[in-house]
Amino acid sequence: MLNSKSKQTIPADSRSVSRVSNPTRREFLTAAGVAGLGLSIGSNGVAQQNRAPDAPPIQLVPELKTTPVRHDQPLHNFQMVNVKPLPKDREGIWVLDFAFKPLRIKQIENPNRQQIHYLYYKVVNRTGAPRIFVPQFYMVNEAGTKYPDTVIPRVIPLIRAREDATIPLLGSVTVMGTIPPSTKQDVDDAVYGVAVWDKWDPHADRFSIYVRGLSDGYKELPPSAPGKPPVVKYKTLKIDFIRRGDERNLSEREIQLNDPPTEWVYW
């Protein structure tokens, strides 16, 4: 189990990652073993958490580049997330600071005039030690159907130009690595990223985005049946949305945060 004194490392097999300049999400996760965080790779290339995380061995995960921002600087249009411990949390877990902008819709100029949804976010590590960051984003409708975020590298520069061209922006593959601790006085060393979806439920009036990878918190539940392993649930941020308007003419102006907008769950 990782703690504030654990050395953030990945298995030796992950050395192959350093030879791939732009690995796909599946290649990175397969080679790195997802940094010992209790993940396996599903047939769809999505990391799946199926056991308690172990302390990862041997080689350091590549350190992510951060952007310095003033600690007390107002974040225009960002929703801040409360990271105070929950009563059900284990003692000593860490949680990364997270803020996000409203869910956006963007049209991609291609023969199909494809639309995407995206969530622009900022992460700061105020835990006092380097932390491995392997985020997973799922859009989930009221029926429980999960839509994982998608790797579409070509849209990242377009999103960056719209949101803030002066800040480096990382996609779902390039954002995976180690976030150094933010230790400067009055300055946050922030990582900016974006999660992108090209598939969702256009009929959903209410939906949520679940964000895993912001904490090492987890809990084990009894097996669902004799002979099966325990059920492991992970501390996950849940962001709730309401969509108003016509499903045939989707507009980001009609997507609003619920009240309350966020909660921490074990999922």
- pLDDT at 45 (0 to 100): 43
Domain residue spans in the chain? 62-266
pTM for the whole thing? 0.80
Q: Is the pLDDT of residue 220 over 60?
A: yes
Structure tokens at 117: 């949804």
- pLDDT at 144 (0 to 100): 98
What is the distance between the alpha carbons of residues 42 and 49, in angstroms, rounded to a whole number?
Answer: 10
Higher per-residue pLDDT: 26 or 95: 95
What is the distance between the alpha carbons of residues 41 and 28, in angstroms, rounded to a whole number?
Answer: 10
- pLDDT at 60 (0 to 100): 60
- pLDDT at 111 (0 to 100): 66
Q: Span 235-250, mean pLDDT?
A: 89
Which tens digits make up the pLDDT trace of 61-90?
799 999 999 886 667 799 999 999 999 999
- pLDDT at 231 (0 to 100): 94
- pLDDT at 219 (0 to 100): 95
Which tens digits make up the pLDDT trace of 146-181?
999 999 999 999 999 999 999 999 999 999 999 999
Q: Is the pLDDT of residue 33 over 80?
A: no
- Within its chain, how far is the Cα of 54 from the centroid? 20
Q: Is the pLDDT of residue 132 over 80?
A: yes
What is the distance between the alpha carbons of residues 96 and 54, in angstroms, rounded to a whole number?
Answer: 19
Which tens digits make up the pLDDT trace of 94-113?
999 999 999 999 998 876 77
Which tens digits make up the pLDDT trace of 114-125?
899 999 999 999
Contact (CB, 8 A) for 210 and 137: yes
Domain 62-266 matching CATH 3.40.50: the answer reads: no
Q: Is the pLDDT of residue 133 over 90?
A: yes
Percentage, residues of the chain above pLDDT 70: 76
Strands 187-197 and 146-148 come out as: unpaired
What is the distance between the alpha carbons of residues 39 and 59, in angstroms, rounded to a whole number?
Answer: 18
